[in-house]
Copies of this chain bind each other. A is one copy, B any other.
Amino acid sequence: MFRKILIANRGEIAVRVERACQEMGIRTVAVYSEVDRHALHVRCADEAYLIGPPPAGESYLVIDKIIDAARKSGAEAIHPGYGFLAENPTFAERCEKEGIKLIGPSAHAMRTMGSKTLARKTVRAAGVPVVPGTVEPIATEEEVFRVAGEIGFPVMLKATAGGGGKGLRLVRGEEDLRSSLRMAKSEAKSAFSDDSIYIEKYIENPRHVEIQILGDRHGNYVHLGERECSIQRRHQKVIEESPSVVITPQVRAAMGKVAIDAGRAANYEGVGTVEFLVDKEINFYFLEMNTRLQVEHPVTEMVTGVDIVKEQIRIAAGEKLSLRQEDVKQTGHAIECRVYAEDPDRNFMPCPGLITSLRTPGGPGVRDDSGVFEGFEIPIYYDPIISKLVVWGKDRQEAVVRMKRALGEYIVTGVKTTIPFHIRVMNNQHFLEGNFDTNFIDKVFFQEERERELPHFHVAVITAAIQLFLDERKQAIARRPVGAGEPASLWKYSSRPGMPKFR
């Protein structure tokens, strides 16, 4: 087993990996940019190396700096977490060259699955069902129009190097194709410095269900069942759960087998996730394979009892899988809510800033994977994730009420967070019934929210009035010139979700 591991990441996932290492008796090495000196992943590590200025492009994404820190610290392995260099084959090759074990799959597997088009080719050859569309990146606008015509609208434009919902555009008709292509390419360029795009038939109202697999270098594979990831906004997952209400044991077994086949097809070593689109008839189509530890891995840990990060490290150290397929049992139900520093009442605008107070939820069945603490300033340079709140219940009903309870206990002040959004989802009838697809949030939820009456308007106004009463008494506050209040009061006021109605 490794004696020392460098974690080439930051925030909650770096902390998650450090926790696994500490429990395995492995020394941890953190890397940090200039704004992250106070960050939790630095405070909790055994060693820490400064790797440059705040922008990821000058620190967390610079291979030379990561390798240099690994060499100086004598780390035998590097855990990339997710994002940053996690699915970068060049980095994987460099690690190999330097004789440092990258905790993840081979560069070859990353390349195969990293290119959506090559991935589709590969798994299709292995008998995995895929969505109709191109398997090659598309060169010209003309070609886009031709292919779209062939497979028929609606179509999806996707960044070949894509992930995390970036460089994705749904196009319902020819008229939007040109502008959407421009946006997709520009986003892809800025996010992955690669603007190549491919096109796919768009499955109407699909569910997004994924299978977690583990594979060792001895050719053993197991799957840990599915995660239901259909609760998305702007094509980005925000709530995940396991099991999925629509997946029967038979379908689960079939998806698991296919997922493992996909893994084998790429000689996959480590932990990986095979994503599927599931239509109304519960047909499933391969969407992509993520060759990394997934943000939402904890929901699977909660229902299977398997510590996925520890397994990942053992696999990287060359050990055989510690469990066989028949050892894997799903018990109860788990849900994860991703808590971001975003304002759900202003179209999820990012809200970086200082966390002025914090109360994390506790009690039975509650797990908080956080990257912050009271007094931490969330930098503007990285994804604004605060923590992943995960609950376990003996069934879905208990898990949902428990999540609602935990979200109610969760206090984060100083920055806006998505906690209120999650509470509203937990209260939504369709969600409670498990009746949703990937369009639920954008198409259904916000509509219903707009109609909803808010119950405690008087308490809200009265509390604000008491605060104002005390403020005014404390001092006559220097006020802004008359009328300057408008911008705030006019800013998209009319379309704010959750607006109370009066009759």
State the CA gap A331–B392 with chains docked (Å): 15
Q: Are A368 and B362 in contact (CB under 8 A)?
A: yes
State the CA gap A456–B16 with chains docked (Å): 26
Interface size class, chain A: 35 or more
Provided the pairs A402-B23, A405-B23 are in contact, do residues A307 and B364 lie with their beta carbons within 8 angstroms?
A: yes
State the CA gap A359–B373 with chains docked (Å): 7
A398 — which chain B residues lie within 8 A by C-beta?
23
Identical subunits present: 2
State the CA gap A16–B366 with chains docked (Å): 12
Q: Are B374 and A369 in contact (CB under 8 A)?
A: no
Q: Are B374 and A358 in contact (CB under 8 A)?
A: yes
Q: Are B401 and A374 in contact (CB under 8 A)?
A: no
As a 0/1 sequence over residues 282 to 315 of chain A, the CB contacts with chain B under 8 angstroms (1 = contact) are 0000000000000000100100010100000000
Closest beta carbon of chain B to A1's beta carbon, Å: 14
Say yes or no: is A370 at the interface (Cβ < 8 Å to chain B).
yes
State the CA gap A394–B398 with chains docked (Å): 23
Q: Are A401 and B358 in contact (CB under 8 A)?
A: no
Say yes or no: is A367 at the interface (Cβ < 8 Å to chain B).
yes
A27 — which chain B residues lie within 8 A by C-beta?
none
Residue of B at shortest CB range from A370?
B362
In residues 321-370 of chain A, which contact B (Cβ within 8 Å)? 331-332, 357-360, 362-370
- Apart from A307-B364, A374-B374: 7 A-B pairs, beta carbons within 8 A: A15-B363, A301-B364, A358-B374, A362-B367, A363-B367, A364-B367, A366-B367
15 residue pairs from A and B, CB less than 8 Å apart: A19-B364, A19-B405, A22-B401, A22-B405, A23-B398, A23-B401, A23-B402, A305-B332, A305-B394, A357-B375, A359-B374, A360-B360, A360-B362, A362-B369, A366-B367
